[in-house]
Chain A
């Protein structure tokens, strides 16, 4: 018999020995890698470096030292910077992040420096958006990557991160409304975008991605006089004639579609805009009200009838 008790036991021991030896070999052969990374950033900043591996810069051959300063160790892991060397800057402060990026992205940085975000940072509100807030910190992806927060599809959510944050908006920048995302969601742009149709405007298309300015600034793309040009961009509403009032639209008008009452809130409306939005005799308001009452009334009445009909069937009435 080949498989006696004894030979079975021997086989078992041999198997364990084999596994142990293999494990030993693997650990020995891997050890130098760890040893190499011991001096690297990975040793402590594991998570950051893991994120950095998804970074387009990493894939292009940049490393930690390119942003954080310090001396790059040759012949070690790509991602190591010698903390001891002189020009190591560590974590840049929020108002310094632009300087880091502008080393290469000159045009983008100079565009950004015209924006209201940068203006606010200079005024001492370092929480205002800077490069990393929209593009990611260590996990910077190209804007074409659907996972990038700057991707066309993700742009509304990225802006809403701050602009829907009531505490943030009210604490620092008085006068910025926090319903920007909600009001955008009422527009056809969002309805199409949400359903995978990406050839529609998101935040950055109208407000500009880097030169984001207040709509009160005459040089802003969202300044009333400039709106026809902004809406009429190539590939957007090209060949459509806008007047500035039409282009002002109701995309972000709180006194409007947001509450389901377009145009319809008579009380809070700018008296100058009122005839424009409501028409003569506030007609738009009354029409909207009429349809609201009609819809709820008819559905309420007839659903009530159906329910009554249903309940009456328990009473064994003579139905005909």
Chain B
């Protein structure tokens, strides 16, 4: 029964436009939306203040650094945004481990065998050899987004702390690993940036299905159409659940 919280169906009330009677599906709670917004803010700030140092010889490097207010300011902004993102990560883990009551193992974000199959089916679909896979609450792409961000945040936080306090770190790890941290940090950062700008934005932003963008990140809702389209399995489950509730 706890699942119902995630599968909330909300009807729009008191609206005069043709949205009346339309059913919206709760995709993200306000908490999740706020986390995503905070993530966007800190991530963008980190990219803008970090990339000029990854590519110091590019023409845009000094341009951006002057825009954000000089090199020292860049460093401070980068540190502040980094700390913000780490705090967000800590909040996220704490909230979803201890406050959110849904049993840990029953959550839908865990990767399953179906995701591997879906991945392969997607490849086949792109070549016209199979049907488009039907997704549940989270598609394999979304799960990869989530766990990718999870892994990236841990990596960037650890290496970032090493870079912030190199001499403290050297008391515990060999010198080589401090330098290694800079490589890992910038590599991972570049990976994250490219992934967000190319893959994530394609899926939620540029792709013809959602263009100009999927509004779920602002409203947290999906329309019935979108729901049937993008998460058919979840849609069916919600409908089953609702029928069961009505009958009981």
Residues of A within 8 A of B (CB): 185, 188, 190-192, 194-197, 240-241, 245-246, 250, 256-257, 260, 262-263, 276-279, 284, 287-288, 291-292, 294-295, 298-299, 302-303, 305-306, 308-313, 315, 317-320
Whether B187 contacts A295 by the Cβ 8 Å rule is yes
Whether B126 contacts A309 by the Cβ 8 Å rule is yes
Chain B residue contacts of A292, Cβ below 8 A: 187
In the complex, how many angstroms separate the beta carbon of A74 from the nearest chain B beta carbon?
Answer: 50
Chain B residue contacts of A315, Cβ below 8 A: 128
A313, closest chain B residue (CB): B208
The answer for the CA separation of A190 and B123 in the assembled complex, in Å, is 45
Given A295-B191, A309-B207, A313-B208, A277 contacting B176 (CB threshold 8 A): yes
Interface centre among A195, A276, A278 (most CB of B within 10 A): A195
22 pairs across A/B with beta carbons < 8 Å? A191-B56, A195-B61, A195-B65, A257-B183, A262-B179, A263-B176, A276-B175, A279-B174, A288-B180, A288-B183, A292-B187, A294-B191, A295-B191, A305-B126, A305-B199, A306-B198, A308-B126, A308-B127, A309-B207, A312-B128, A317-B128, A320-B228
Whether B175 contacts A194 by the Cβ 8 Å rule is no
Per a CB cutoff under 8 Å, which of B71, B176, B228 touches A197? B71
Residues of B within 8 A of A (CB): 52-53, 56-57, 61-62, 65-66, 70-72, 74, 122-123, 125-128, 131-132, 144, 148, 167, 170, 174-177, 179-180, 183-184, 187-188, 190-191, 194-195, 198-199, 202, 207-209, 228-229, 232
Whether A278 contacts B176 by the Cβ 8 Å rule is yes
B-side interface mostly: helix
The answer for the CA separation of A302 and B123 in the assembled complex, in Å, is 11
The answer for the CA separation of A4 and B219 in the assembled complex, in Å, is 82
Whether B176 contacts A308 by the Cβ 8 Å rule is no
Chain A residue contacts of B195, Cβ below 8 A: 298-299, 302
Whether B56 contacts A195 by the Cβ 8 Å rule is yes
Per a CB cutoff under 8 Å, which of B52, B56, B176, B190 touches A284? B176
Given A192-B71, A197-B70, A263-B180, A299 contacting B125 (CB threshold 8 A): no
Whether A246 contacts B175 by the Cβ 8 Å rule is yes
Whether A263 contacts B187 by the Cβ 8 Å rule is no
Chain B residue contacts of A246, Cβ below 8 A: 170, 175
Interface centre among B65, B71, B195 (most CB of A within 10 A): B71
Whether B194 contacts A299 by the Cβ 8 Å rule is yes
The answer for the CA separation of A318 and B44 in the assembled complex, in Å, is 36
Chain B residue contacts of A310, Cβ below 8 A: 202
The answer for the CA separation of A302 and B184 in the assembled complex, in Å, is 20
In the complex, how many angstroms separate the beta carbon of B219 from the nearest chain A beta carbon?
Answer: 22
Whether B177 contacts A279 by the Cβ 8 Å rule is yes
Given contacts A256-B179, A299-B198, 4 further A-B contacts (CB under 8 A): A188-B53, A240-B167, A288-B180, A302-B199
Whether B65 contacts A276 by the Cβ 8 Å rule is no
The answer for the CA separation of A263 and B176 in the assembled complex, in Å, is 7
In the complex, how many angstroms separate the beta carbon of A59 from the nearest chain B beta carbon?
Answer: 31
Chain A residue contacts of B190, Cβ below 8 A: 295
Whether A308 contacts B123 by the Cβ 8 Å rule is yes
Whether B62 contacts A194 by the Cβ 8 Å rule is yes
Given A262-B180, A277-B176, A309-B126, A303 contacting B57 (CB threshold 8 A): no
In the complex, how many angstroms separate the beta carbon of A71 from the nearest chain B beta carbon?
Answer: 50
Interface centre among B126, B128, B177, B209 (most CB of A within 10 A): B126
In the complex, how many angstroms separate the beta carbon of A246 from the nearest chain B beta carbon?
Answer: 5
B202, closest chain A residue (CB): A306
Chain A residue contacts of B198, Cβ below 8 A: 299, 302-303, 306
- Sorted nearest first, the 4 A-B pairs with minimum C-beta distance are A197-B71, A308-B126, A191-B56, A312-B126
Chain A residue contacts of B132, Cβ below 8 A: 317-320
